[in-house]
Amino acid sequence: MSESEQEKPWTEEQWEAFMKRQDLKAARFGEILETVIDDPNRYEIIQKEMGWDSDDDDGDREHFEIPEPTEEDMEEAKREMEESDRALEEMDAYRKSMLAAEKVDKLLKPFLKQRSDEPDDEIGEAFINPHIACAKISGGHAMGYHDDVLCANIVKNKIALEANKKGQEALRSLAKKGVLQPKTLEPVLKHLDTAAKSIQTRIKDLRSKVWWSS
């Protein structure tokens, strides 16, 4: 591999593989923590089981000192955060996904209250996935738009699109079972479909900025 190829930013495939590894590590951490939560030496056990006590940890840990931020640093960070928040709120995919999630909330919340003692997995899927879509779009935006993280941003939006579709599938399944009425469901599905199309457009726009991937 040439030096120029080595210096290329990661592709979508590389970011997807990395995120899957992180998900597996997070799941492993959760399993260990659940097992040793009452052990007084739980932190040492977790560190050993996760391999964090080794110098060879695939680069998961970086050793560096964080300088104390100045007042100017804090003000600049605040301005950047406010600008980022405004940009997110103005983003078409995010706004439409938020609206769709609100419509799903309104549709399902009364039903959830009525059956709080008997939760339904599909209702949970229908309820949470539109919110996951919003969170992933926001997460991609937070990662940024520089070359080194652009494909990570794209992957986050792909996950958002998948969550949107999972939410739609769960809602349609509930309608087939007679849990939801088509008359009240169809307008909600239209909002979700509109949001999905906007996410697809966003993914396409972000991909147009990727010059290093075939």
Range with lowest mean pLDDT among 13-17, 22-26, 44-48: 44-48
Torsion sign, CA atoms 198, 199, 203, 206: positive
Q: Do 119 and 137 touch, CB atoms closer than 8 A?
A: no
Can you give the pLDDT at residue 3?
47
Can you give the pLDDT at residue 86?
94
Range with lowest mean pLDDT among 43-47, 76-80, 165-169, 186-190: 43-47
Q: What letter represents residue 76's amino acid?
A: E
pLDDT band at 1 (very low <50, low <70, confident <90, very high): very low
Q: Do 93 and 87 touch, CB atoms closer than 8 A?
A: no
134 DSSP 8-state letter: H
Indicate whether 2 pLDDT > 60.
no
Q: What is the pTM for the complete model shown? A: 0.81
